[in-house]
Structure 1
Amino acid sequence: MSPAEPPAVAGVLSADEVVATARSIAREQEPTGAIPWFGGGHVDPWDHVESAMALASAGLLAEAEAAYEWSRRTQRQDGSWPAKIVRGRVVDAAADTNFCAYLAVGVWHHVLLTGDGSFAARMWPSVRAGIDFVLRFQGETGQIGWLGGEREALLTGCSSIHHSMRCALALAAYVGEEQPEWELALGRLGHALRRHPEAFLDKGRYSMDWYYPVLGGAVRGEQARGRLRERWCDFVVDGLGARCVDDRPWVTGAETCELVLSLDAIGESDRAQELFAAMQHLREEDGSYWTGLVYTDGKRWPVERTTWTGAAVILAADALSATTPACHIFRADDLPKGMAVDAEGCRCKGEAYATGVPG
């Protein structure tokens, strides 16, 4: 089974244009199935999976499945992946926990999209090993260390892991291998994200730390809307998109599209569509997207057109248009929420800074 048609956002991006973007990603795919940031660039496990999701959403299922096979084949015995690989050679062997969890999102997305049970069964051992590796680094408060062996935790990375774990639990139920210990770990992580900002390194100048608790599903409802309103003017540039950092005149396509997905997840569809339209200035004729624009001097920076920027565009287009069966994976309405953590049991002393769901 494949999507009946590619996503399209009326008045902004046609189905043919979405397919052109997917093909621009596929052109950079290596014979091994790996998808680097750009031709000759490095592969990281997170952006590789995001690109596979985009390929599948646009109907390029064979290319997407080749990418997932690369992930399955290159996973290390401990369940992790190297942070950077260039043309098959490991150039950074560190294991980023967020990177190692994200395969769960891609696999569940592909199952929703295709209904392919054999794919789910084939990929499940890799997803399970990846999540088990990540949970080795969960701290007492529920946060998960950034790198294997490191105690420091990142709000953005842990928010993404939160979403990955929800997808992993959905896949576990699908294949009939319930993981109750993951339910507790997810509950603890969500609680940390909502009530313990002190558990994470301060990266507040980055827009991802602003919207990722919403994108990752830990914060919802009015608290999520309030969180996005609070720093909207710090990060959003009217008519251009979202900044990567609050102190630089630099809008970036991927962050803009992730903010679009965050807005869509909480029902702010009109604002999401406006933002999606605003970032189309980064599009090239062949369907690829520049990574960003320094708007004070009109220069594209970085100079590459990155696969993951195009991928974020496709996923945002699918969410806005509700085209494929996997279109609402970031809304996450049907994903497991984990075991609720009692705030008193955690001995929380401060007020929740961004609640939205229990715990």
Structure 2
Amino acid sequence: MIEFETTLDAIGALQDHRGMIPWAAGHHADPWNHTEAVIALALGARYHAARRGLGWLTRVANRDGSYCQFFTTSAVLEPRIDLNNCLYPAVGALAYLVSSRDVASVRDFAISFDVTVDFVLRRQRSDGSFPWALAPDRTPLEGSLLAGSSAMVLSLEAIEALDALLGRNRPHVKEASAALGAYICDPASRFLAKDAWAMDGYYPVLAGVLDDADARRRMQEFLERHYVPGAGVQAIANSSWVTTAETAEAAMAMIRLGELRQARQMLDDIEALRRSDGGYLTGWVWPDRVSFPADERSAYSAAAVIIARYLLGLGRPVGLVEGILARE
């Protein structure tokens, strides 16, 4: 598909000589959004670029396995450690392994990434939750994030899948995932107040931690609060900022529920944000249709569209990790 290939070209054009994929041209990178681009490149059979992306992740990890929050092309920009960021590279490694069959490269990555997994799991609290981040001195910061915790469940699912494909068995990973999922579903659990943000609405559904009835109820409420038909998803409720990435990720949540028609409509909505070079604008102000940030074409936005379109193309209810494994 020519449009698909052009978008992959747009993502690949942002990758620097070290393998880093920044948010957008001239911007910084973070491990999560970098990994999102790696997933898209792997699903699109851009194996060399995806492997270079995994190599960058290996090189910038701290000795204890942690990842700093933000990087420039030559230095650490923000030394805070987001635990969700630390685990998400597993999803990129899984996508690369299943797509490329390059077991040797992924086994090497997994060996170094084991230190990261152990670093994060040691931070799990007795109630199953994780602090959302650590200060540079490794002191836990107060509170947990609902979207970040849900994304961590996805990452732990990917780690289990990687282990299975590499012939490894680590029951404590599954146990950590189950405890975190239970915490997310517990009505008594407390998260930092981010309920106006779109990600808090759809990420528990995307992660598959809710039962079907609760997931459908949550997504219906989400659509009523965040979705602007014909435009996309508002990143923050009642704002005028509609974004590509949040729309594509929300579509992934709808795909997981089997609501394929709704997911397709949401993805069609944001085609207006696609540029002639295959990139996607980060977002626009609605209804003025003014690009914001001005003409910013973010790698993670384009990647989210590719991933969502790939999952939609499977034609059935499927989660992210299950969808990646479907390439086998």
Q: TM-score range by the shorter chain?
A: over 0.9
**Change beyond 3 A, Cα 1:229–1:329:** closer
TM-score, with length taken from structure 2? 0.92
Q: Within the alignment, does 1:282 sit opposite 2:282 as a pair? A: no
Name which of 42, 50, 68 aligns with 2:28: 42
Of 77, 85, 100, the residue aligned with 2:86 is: 100
CA distance 1:193–1:333, shift in 2 (3 Å)? farther
Structure 1 partner of 2:203: 212
SS in 2 for 1:239: coil
Instruction: Establish whether residue 310 from structure 1 lines up as the match of residue 302 from structure 2.
Output: yes
Q: Is the 8 A contact 1:128 1:168 kept in 2?
A: no
Residue in structure 2 matched with residue 112 of structure 1 by the alignment? 98
User: In the TM superposition, what are the counterparts of 1:1-359 in structure 2 within 5 Å?
Assistant: 15-148=1-134, 149-196=140-187, 198-303=189-294, 304-322=296-314, 330=320, 332=322
AA matched with 2:208: G
| 8 Å Cα contact 1:141-1:199 kept in structure 2 | no
Task: Report the alpha carbon displacement of residue 333 of structure 1 after superposing the two structures with TM.
Answer: 7.9
Distance 1:300 1:334, change over 3 A: closer
d(CA) in 2 for partners of 1:59, 1:108 = 13
- Once residues 121 and 190 of structure 2 are traced to their aligned partners in structure 1, the CA distance between those partners, rounded to angstroms, is 16
Alignment CA distance shift 1:184-1:246 (3 Å): same
SS of 2:320's partner is coil
SS in 1 for 2:76: strand
| Cα distance, 1:154 vs structure 2 | 0.2
* Letter of the structure 1 residue corresponding to residue 4 of structure 2: V
Deviations 1:252-278 (A, max 9, x none): 000000011111111111110011101
Relative to structure 1, is the Cα distance of residues 195 and 333 closer, same or farther in structure 2, using a 3 angstrom cutoff? farther
Structure 1 unmatched runs, 5+? 1-14, 336-359
Aligned-residue offset at 1:140: 2.4
Q: Percent identity among equivalent residues?
A: 32
User: Is the contact made by 1:265 and 1:331 (CA closer than 8 Å) also made in structure 2?
Assistant: no
- Whole-angstrom distance in 2 between the partners of 1:48 and 1:281: 24
Q: Report the AA paired with residue 35 of structure 2.
A: V
- How far is 1:173 from its partner? 2.3
Distance 1:268 1:188 in 2: 28
Change (3 A) 1:58 1:334: closer
Higher relative contact order (CA 8 A, sep 6+): 1
CA apart distance, 1:234: 0.7
Match of 1:242, SS? strand
Unaligned runs of 5+ in 2: 135-139
